Structure 1
């Protein structure tokens, strides 16, 4: 398998990037040694407010990452989805005519992989050619996990509760969120039809990404990943939860963030519901 990867960095923090890049590089090498990976290229896009010190960035990459990198150092801040699309468009143009046995991974800058992560994902795609996205088991950076990290189709009620965190204490809302986060399913058991795959690690065949045209750029931040997953399922693709594919992600719910993030969340939620359909309570 050839793996094409896109990582967008808005806040260049070497204390976060260094372990993430090292773990990705080692996981790629492990997959290559297992015979599951032929080649890999990382598109690293920086769209922060301050100019990037490209020499320092190159030194970090040379010290932590043993695979080819295309550094897109001064990208406009078009939002998460559209900035990733700039890299995806290059992938489609360069590799789209020979999409067989090529996969794309869109990965957050604060994601740490296990040594076996890429190997397990590549093996699954090889055995399941109709898989849309491989959805990993997501833990926090300390390796703790009390849910698989993916979601069912949301309702207005459960998203409101996530925005206004105190509402989680209400038993009916708490029960809704348990189902929304797949907490009714054992984390060690595979699931062959995850509704909404987390956007921190989205790995699927090149032809999946091509067919959907990447992310919908109208989502500046939040819900671009959910929108992609829903559009894929409408076209017959299925997202597979594969617990052998393990990652760690710092994350953080929108209810703990500032009001600018909350506004982006609200605006994107409205766009998502208007496009794919409203649910008021039931998940």
Structure 2
């Protein structure tokens, strides 16, 4: 157990990042995030870097010798995003657990501290999602979404010109990003969860290989307490998407069918 200078136990935070074919940008971003977070004296961090059976560019980050709280795991088979994150679930012993993408940039340290303090104080909150902005232009990524219906997913896939008002409602464009509010469909790009609660539901449903695993997790963990959108902490997201490739579309459709078969088909 580690203690701060005041003698109080530090808040323990675990951070998990799943990599697939590590890029130089991912490596640079990850090291910068680790350095920034480790600079927060009041928190005790542990970082879990997971290589999801990369066929080409396996995880081989060269860590500075002074960093002792980073654990690297190589998986023999890629069973999906959720399974990759679940692979370290038994290893963590933290107060809060962060699920994040390699292309996330955490430079809002003051906001991060506020977010941890908020979820720590509000015992009924089990998961928190931050404000996400584009890497390229700083604009808001509209990821504070409603629960999906088949119609909402279809028109989003067809493009922004199809039923634009309905699409705006789905992502809560008008009033979904200025204040704390319930989050019905949190993004897996960055989540802060209570570790005990996340463990109690066994993390992600690993039947989702890619897509909808975060929507499903939100729905399941919300049965244990509140999931909230917290706009006073901002992360920057590189937004690497593959769902318009043939392979990506196939994964998305399979996951969509699995999700609605599990939770009921909401058409409109």
In the superposition, the TM-score normalised over structure 1's length comes to: 0.83
Distance 1:227 1:45, change over 3 A: same
Distance 2:245 2:266 in 1: 26
Residue of structure 2 equivalent to 1:128: 122
CA RMSD between the two structures = 2.1
Distance 1:21 1:278, change over 3 A: farther
Residues 61-89 of structure 1, C-alpha deviation per residue, up to 9 Å, x if partnerless?
A: 328x9461111134421100011110113
Distance 1:72 1:83 in 2: 10
Distance 2:123 2:136 in 1: 33
Residue of structure 1 equivalent to 2:261: 274
- Pick one of 27, 33, 52 that aligns with 2:37: 27
Residue of structure 2 equivalent to 1:52: 58
Distance 1:188 1:238 in 2: 18
Residue of structure 2 equivalent to 1:2: 12
- Pick one of 8, 12, 18 that aligns with 2:28: 18
In the superposition, the TM-score normalised over structure 2's length comes to: 0.88
Unaligned stretches of 5+ in structure 1? none
Residues 165-220 of structure 1, C-alpha deviation per residue, up to 9 Å, x if partnerless?
A: 3xx313xx2112111111121522111x1101100111111112012110000000
Q: How does 1:1-283 map to 2 (within 5 A)?
A: 1-30=11-40, 32=41, 35=42, 37=43, 39-47=44-52, 48-50=54-56, 52=58, 54=60, 57=61, 59=62, 61-62=63-64, 66=67, 68-91=69-92, 95=93, 102-114=95-107, 115-142=109-136, 144-165=138-159, 168-170=160-162, 173-191=163-181, 193-233=182-222, 235-252=223-240, 257-281=244-268
Unaligned stretches of 5+ in structure 2? 1-10
More helix by share: 1
